[in-house]
Structure 1
Amino acid sequence: MRAVQITEFGGPEVLNVTELPEPEAGPGRVLINVSRAGINYADTHQAENSYLSKASLPLVPGGEAVGTTPDGRRVVALLGTGGYAEKAVAPEEMAWDVPDAVDDVTALGMVVQGASAWLLLRRSVHLAEGESVVVHAAAGGVGTLAVQLAKAWGAGRVIATASSEDKRALALDLGADVAVDANEPDMKAALIDANGGKRVDVVLEMTGGEVTDQSLRALAPFGRLAFYGMASRKPPTPVQPAALMAHSTTIAGMWLAHVFQLPGDVMRTALGELFALAADGRLRVVAGGEYGLTGVREAHEALRSRRTTGKLVLDPAR
């Protein structure tokens, strides 16, 4: 089968298309004929071995895929690795049936980005009706869905940040009340101004560096910042616990992998709600572009340079 393989860690240049033996599904695992694989920012970290979970070589990247099983089920699955290929294997408990009304791109957009947005708002910050919500990188995969979910769940004011006029226009089209230039030199002041002169209640942040630092300083009393990525690859300034008392603020971290350690099937609950909203037309995944296997380097370059919007997918038949 055709697949993308990494034999050394690095940037997009280490992604190579090759022929590999087809994977075999052992006990408790399911084989998927991949129709589309998801391309995530985390994949760029996996390629350079800078992700939270360390990788080993050789490696077929790609943590999510949608397709059909040998018995005809249409599923979307979390894989860990192996998605950038014509066939992939997933644990049975991490493969979920996809409703007919949900297309491939939407299914892939929900299984990582949608579930992340759901968890950030439901579990990490416990969004309450009427609260203001800042969504950084609002034109990205998680951001586009977080804007829509925050609005649907009663946020009083949704403030989106994005790096270009087109991306800010997209965030507004998805329901954001105001869009802020992500390159504002004084992000604290920009966020407070966008909230009518008041500090903000909730921030969803995945940029890192000064953006995290200034967003934290913009929080209202009992405000919450949920940190779920570091796209700039620049760490924020370390926070002293005593400093959180200044405004009774909270910082939460979120990594999707930990959802499987929660009691009950939280992931199935999240996907059930997300798929229902999508099927009813109340939540949409923004298609960010489709690439063939030979275009995978281009896709990673676009992600790393923050030129993308919405959900990127890989078609292994191309």
Structure 2
Amino acid sequence: MAAAGLAHCLSHRPVPTILSWLLYRKNKSCYPRHYRAAICRELKVPLTIEEVPTRPIQPDEVRVDVHFCGVNFADILTCRGLYQESPSLPFTPGLELAGQVLEIGTNVNTVKEGDRVISVNNFSTMAEQCIVDQKKLWQIPDGISYQEAAALPVCYGTAILALEQRAQTKPGETVLVTAAAGATGLALIDVASNILQAKVIAAAGSDEKCQLALKRGAKAAVNYSQGNLKEELKRLTGGQGVDVVIDGVGGDVCLTALRSLAWEGRMVVIGFTGGSILSIPSNLLLLKNVSAMGVYWTRYQKENFPVFSRCMSSALQYYKEGSIRPHIGRVFKLEEINDAFEHVTQRKTTGKVILSVK
């Protein structure tokens, strides 16, 4: 063990998780001083994979050995300088991870070394290690793999927040989900159908995506690239309209969905994957007493952390109970980060895209 530890220190290279953790527990000074991370050095150019030095953790911080991390449209926008928040260059992108606790600060009492955890930590998760504040960690229950756990935070956190907290969806209501075959769209269908007992109409851009949405729990699906979304929604609801819209597309799709709301219906805007941001005509809100609201998911960490944390805990609990199941569309290696970004940008995937760090 001593010889292996010496070689490990001299190489400065990461070793498999279990061995590195055992070496670390035996002699913390021997733990790798460098780790691989995806780095954005310049906006709108491909990312690089580099070895970066570790830093000491602060009293309330935790060092996590990352196994998997999610790829989100927000990560791509951040690397293009188009996201709501702009970290200073250079930076490591990534909002979510699943991994194992390697080291805890002196004030940490929520987790211990060796615990399996998920985390939400802005702009730093696409790396072999990530340092996070202890309050941004949630323990992974037994029976949930690292890979599936990594698919929960952003998509299911957003879905639960949008449907439960903002729209206050009730059993039996009709919920329209746009961009329904994407990672968050499928999470919305999962939560609306299986947790809230709502009737979901999925709207997507191809017949294949519509079929997937139906397979994942939607009661009906509309291909808005071919059919008339407004007329189809009118037909499917008997002219009554939908009670709740969760829109991640924007533009004309968002406008049509807004016009299709029932009396006192609610629309929640979660993104603009279509690239066009709708200027909402306020008269539409008045005519049927409808509400339009938004979900800026990560900001809840700062503005209302108890609600944010409750959504994360709920996602884990729902999964543990067998009520929800994330759909993972594709897994890339860390060094394939640029391919993963292109895959998401070109909408080649359905479901969640994951990076395997190990």
Which category describes the TM-score, using the shorter chain as reference length? over 0.9
Q: What is the letter of the counterpart of residue 94 of structure 2?
A: G
- Whether contact under 8 Å (1:292, 1:316) holds in the other structure is yes
C-alpha separation in 1, matches of 2:62 and 2:248: 32
Change in 2 beyond 3 A, CA 1:180/1:85: same
- Structure 1 unaligned runs (5+)? none
- Whether contact under 8 Å (2:259, 2:284) holds in the other structure is no
Identity %: 29
Give the Å deviation of 1:164. 2.4
**Corresponding residue number in structure 1 for 2:246:** 204
- Structure 2 unaligned runs (5+)? 1-34, 103-112
**Corresponding residue number in structure 2 for 1:283:** 324
Indicate whether 1:190 and 2:232 are aligned: yes
**Corresponding residue number in structure 2 for 1:27:** 59
- Whether contact under 8 Å (1:159, 1:195) holds in the other structure is no
Structure of larger gyration radius: 2
**Corresponding residue number in structure 1 for 2:340:** 299
Indicate whether 1:223 and 2:282 are aligned: no
The RMSD of aligned alpha carbons is 1.7
Indicate whether 1:244 and 2:285 are aligned: yes
C-alpha separation in 1, matches of 2:86 and 2:235: 41
- Whether contact under 8 Å (1:105, 1:285) holds in the other structure is no
Q: What is the letter of the counterpart of residue 166 of structure 2?
A: S
- Whether contact under 8 Å (1:132, 1:155) holds in the other structure is no
**Corresponding residue number in structure 1 for 2:296:** 255
Q: What is the letter of the counterpart of residue 174 of structure 2?
A: S
Indicate whether 1:86 and 2:120 are aligned: no
CA deviations 1:120-153 (Å, max 9, x no partner) are 1111111122211001111111111111211124
Give the Å deviation of 1:268. 3.2
**Corresponding residue number in structure 1 for 2:186:** 144
Q: TM-score, normalised by structure 2?
A: 0.83
Indicate whether 1:8 and 2:42 are aligned: yes
**Corresponding residue number in structure 1 for 2:202:** 160
- Whether contact under 8 Å (1:184, 1:190) holds in the other structure is no
SS at match of 2:152: helix
Segment drifting more, 79-88 vs 258-267: 258-267
Give the Å deviation of 1:156. 4.6
Give the Å deviation of 1:157. 2.4
- Whether contact under 8 Å (1:66, 1:75) holds in the other structure is yes
Q: What is the letter of the counterpart of residue 173 of structure 2?
A: E
**Corresponding residue number in structure 1 for 2:9:** none
Q: TM-score, normalised by structure 1?
A: 0.93
Give the Å deviation of 1:266. 2.2
**Corresponding residue number in structure 1 for 2:90:** 58
CA deviations 1:5-56 (Å, max 9, x no partner) are 111111xx42111221124322321111101111111111111011111222
Segment drifting more, 238-247 vs 172-181: 238-247
- Whether contact under 8 Å (1:208, 1:233) holds in the other structure is yes
Aligned length: 314
Change in 2 beyond 3 A, CA 1:173/1:48: same
Change in 2 beyond 3 A, CA 1:260/1:167: same
**Corresponding residue number in structure 2 for 1:115:** 157
Identify the structure with bigger relative contact order (alpha carbons < 8 Å, sequence gap 6+).
1
- Whether contact under 8 Å (1:23, 1:87) holds in the other structure is no
